[in-house]
Structure 1
């Protein structure tokens, strides 16, 4: 059964992280550029990541009132970072960007999703 997340701050931290990442991606610093180029993500499509992260932020915030929406969003964010991890692996781009950023966000996303069902 889906219920209000306990602890509440894990989905909030995920939302804050995604929102911060989206803001930084408007004018991406070198480490974000290096990451996206490293996985060969086309520069013409970088704007889609900002849209996805902002939508996920909104979904997680809505989830504070409607837990089902928050859970669905958290699961979608897990899927997003699983796809990112696969892209890193396929591109053989397995530096610190993969281990710290990608897998770190994947772990945070899984933890946030679990808070809705525990």
Structure 2
């Protein structure tokens, strides 16, 4: 395992995406709100998703200089999106949001973890 990302740019791209996703969680567009409602995630806890995403983005960026932190943040995102996938499957909410957004972000997070920190 590599403790600092190599190359750095995929880690930064993922950080920007996750940070933007966190911003969208505060006042979600209809598609995101429908997705969260569709999996049965309580509206009172939507703020927690933004916190997780902001912490992950911060960890990815700080991990450029702090050994192991970026890898931990990327691994955390993989776990986050695996949990989201399980929530989608359990709720039977497996439309476009599941295939594109949930599994798409799982694939991107796993690719960053693999190609920047493992290979």
TM-score range, shorter chain: over 0.9
Q: Which runs of 5+ in 1 are unaligned?
A: none
TM-score norm. by structure 2 comes to 0.95
> Displacement of 1:15 after TM fit?
0.5
- Paired residue total: 118
Q: Where does the alignment leave 5 or more consecutive residues of structure 2 unmatched?
A: none
What is the aligned partner in structure 2 of residue 2 from structure 1? 2
Q: How far 1:3 sits from its partner (Å)?
A: 3.5
Q: CA RMSD in A?
A: 1.0
Task: Work out the CA distance in 1 between the residues paired with 2:29 and 2:95.
Answer: 17
**Residue 67 of structure 1 aligns to a residue in which SS?**
coil
Matched with 2:27 is: 27
| 1:43-97 per-position Cα deviation (integer Å, ceiling 9, x unaligned) | 0100100100000010001111123000011001100000000000000000000
Q: TM-score, normalised by structure 1?
A: 0.96
Q: Is the 8 A contact 2:82 2:106 kept in 1?
A: yes
1:25, CA displacement in angstroms?
A: 1.3
